[in-house]
Structure 1
Amino acid sequence: MKRLTLVCSIVFILFILFYDLKIGTIPIQDLPVYEASAKTAVQEPAYKTVKVKPGDTVMSIVGSAGSPDDIVKDFEALNPNVKANAIQAGTAYKFPVYP
């Protein structure tokens, strides 16, 4: 008798799992409908243009607002073909601004 109860319970649980996964229990008409937006806003990163003085570094100009890796990555994205460790005094560069 215990085996029969166990087998019936297992079959019932498997049926419940099958029904829930294949057919589902949430009516489709109750699900929210989201429309895809045709436009995606591309936001230009905030920056300031600074003329570098002798002894300045990217970190000394930007400050400690973000992580050093993010600051270097953002600086190099704003200034293509310029490495963060190779800035020259007297040249103006775009530096990221963090809130």
Structure 2
Amino acid sequence: MNSIKKLLLYTFIILFLISVHQDLTVGTPLNNNLDSQNNPPIVEQENITFIKVQTNTGDTVLSIVEELNKQNNNDLDISQILDDFKALNPGVEPLHIQTGEYYYFPLY
């Protein structure tokens, strides 16, 4: 009887560790709704209006912001764009965005 309890305990621990590893490496998508990926919502936070965008190969923070703000291209300040991007995406460096990832970009 004691060996069955040990076997169940070890099985539970292994499954728990696999679950934690899976969650930390792959994660769980926060929103599986396909409509939100096609038409991401525009949100306003702390006087910054922003939109969630998936990056493609060759995209930069500046190229995406310029594409999103076509009407206001002359009024864009690069340092303000980078500061707003850092505020919207804590822990992400604007020069090191990854292809295929979702980031929040400011709208002006």
TM-score by length of 2: 0.50
Shift of 1:46: 0.3
Matched, 1:91 2:101: yes
Cross-structure match for 1:29: none
Gap runs ≥5 in structure 2 = 1-44, 67-72
Whole-angstrom CA distance in 1 between matches of 2:85 and 2:100:
17
Cross-structure match for 2:48: 45
Cross-structure match for 1:73: 83
Shift of 1:52: 0.2
Gap runs ≥5 in structure 1 = 1-41
State the SS of the aligned residue for 1:46: strand
Shift of 1:66: 1.4
* Gap change, CA 1:92 and 1:76, over 3 Å in 2: same
Aligned length, in residue pairs: 57
Structure with the greater alpha carbon radius of gyration: 1
Shift of 1:44: 4.3
For residues 16-57 of structure 1, the C-alpha deviation after alignment (integer angstroms, 9 at most, x for no partner) is xxxxxxxxxxxxxxxxxxxxxxxxxx8441001000000000
Whole-angstrom CA distance in 1 between matches of 2:46 and 2:83:
17
Matched, 1:59 2:76: no
Whose helix proportion is higher, 1 or 2? 2
Whose strand proportion is higher, 1 or 2? 2
TM-score by length of 1: 0.54
Identity across the alignment (%):
40
Cα-Cα RMSD: 1.5
